[in-house]
Amino acid sequence: MLEIADSVQKVGDAMVQQFGQTPQEACWILAVNTQMRVLEVNRVAMGTLDSVTVHPRDIFRRLVALNAYGFIVVHNHPSGSLRLSQADRKLMTQLAMCSGVMQFHFLDFMVISSRGYTSLRSQHWLTEISVETLYDLWTKNDKV
């Protein structure tokens, strides 16, 4: 099992090996400490052949309990596709917003299959949201 999450390739290869053949969609989190040591790999949701419902509270509840520094989300596609669905994009944005508020480091969102993995951090597709960005979202349309 993965002990240190010190490279995208190491995490991607380990997750593909462990979960790439899973026959139904699921979502896991890798919680890490400040030294990138893996505190836990936890399945937070199990779905069907072509969908899984994940709620941010299920992810952050565990991260708080572990006193984690950061996390990586790993989601599988049994179809073999490594492309993000609209639901995947929505979840990524929700997690970015929540992690900004709760001050957890959202390190990566990975899609895996038996064919390999895609890292949104490596592709520069990971949504970056800070507390300041969230504040701007709430205040930019205010008419004071």
Q: What is the 3-state secondary structure (H, E, C) of 77-120?
A: CCCCCCCCCHHHHHHHHHHHHHHHHHCCEEEEEEEEECCEEEEC
Residue 88 lies in a domain: yes
Find the domain containing 91 and state its range: 8-139
Domain count within the chain: 1
- pLDDT over 70 at 40, yes or no: yes
Average pLDDT over residues 1-17: 95
CB 22 within 8 A of CB 56: no
Does any domain span residue 89? yes
Any domain includes 3: no
Whether residue 16 has pLDDT greater than 90: yes
pLDDT average, residue stretch 124-137 = 67
Say what the pLDDT of residue 136 is. 62
Question: Which range has the worst mean pLDDT, 12-26, 35-49, 84-98, 123-137?
Answer: 123-137
C-beta of residue 61 within 8 angstroms of C-beta of residue 42: no
Residue 144's pLDDT is what?
Answer: 44
- Exposed/middle/buried for 95, CB within 10 Å: 0-12, 13-18, 19+? buried
Predicted confidence at residue 104, as pLDDT, reads: 95
Beta bridge partners of 113: 116
Q: Is the pLDDT of residue 30 over 80?
A: yes
**Residue 113 is assigned to a structural domain of this protein:** yes
The pLDDT value recorded for residue 1 is 79
CATH of the domain at 13: 3.40.140.10
pTM for the structure as a whole? 0.88
